[in-house]
Amino acid sequence: MKLWLEKNTGRRVVERIEAHSGAVIERSSLTNNLTSSNREVNVGLPTINDELDEAVRFYSDPSQVDLVLVSGCGNDVGVQNLLNASNTGEVDDMTDAKCGTPVANLLRRIAT
């Protein structure tokens, strides 16, 4: 993504990655409090909100940030739930509860 942005905008891109496998949006979606220093280990902590806080602390002048990419919600619902065709209604309810308001709150944070 960084190289593509630099090539297509002609601007230097400073990349900061906080993401890790398994991150959930909010702590309320956690089933445990496990963490790992390896970003490929599928654990919920730090949450996406925690990662956002860390990214904000990294930049001395957040007004210099032009782009924030966020991907989330699937881990909050759980892949095992998404792949279980027998509980479609439950998945809809869970997706609305864990992704509706939490994602809206996260987007409001990013926009400010």
Cα–Cα distance for residue pair 99/69, rounded to 1 Å = 17
∠ Cα 41 23 7 (to 5°)? 90
Residue 41 has a CB neighbour count (10 Å cut-off) of 12
- Residue 62: predicted pLDDT: 78
CA distances from 97 to 29, 63, 75, 90, 93 (A): 10, 32, 13, 10, 6
What is the pTM assigned to this prediction?
0.73
pLDDT digit string, tens, across residues 32-90: 899 998 988 889 899 999 998 998 888 888 788 888 888 888 777 777 777 777 877 88
Q: What residues does each domain of the chain span?
A: 12-111
For residue 79, the Cα-to-chain-centroid distance in whole angstroms is 15
Cα–Cα distance for residue pair 16/54, rounded to 1 Å = 10
Cα–Cα distance for residue pair 63/69, rounded to 1 Å = 16
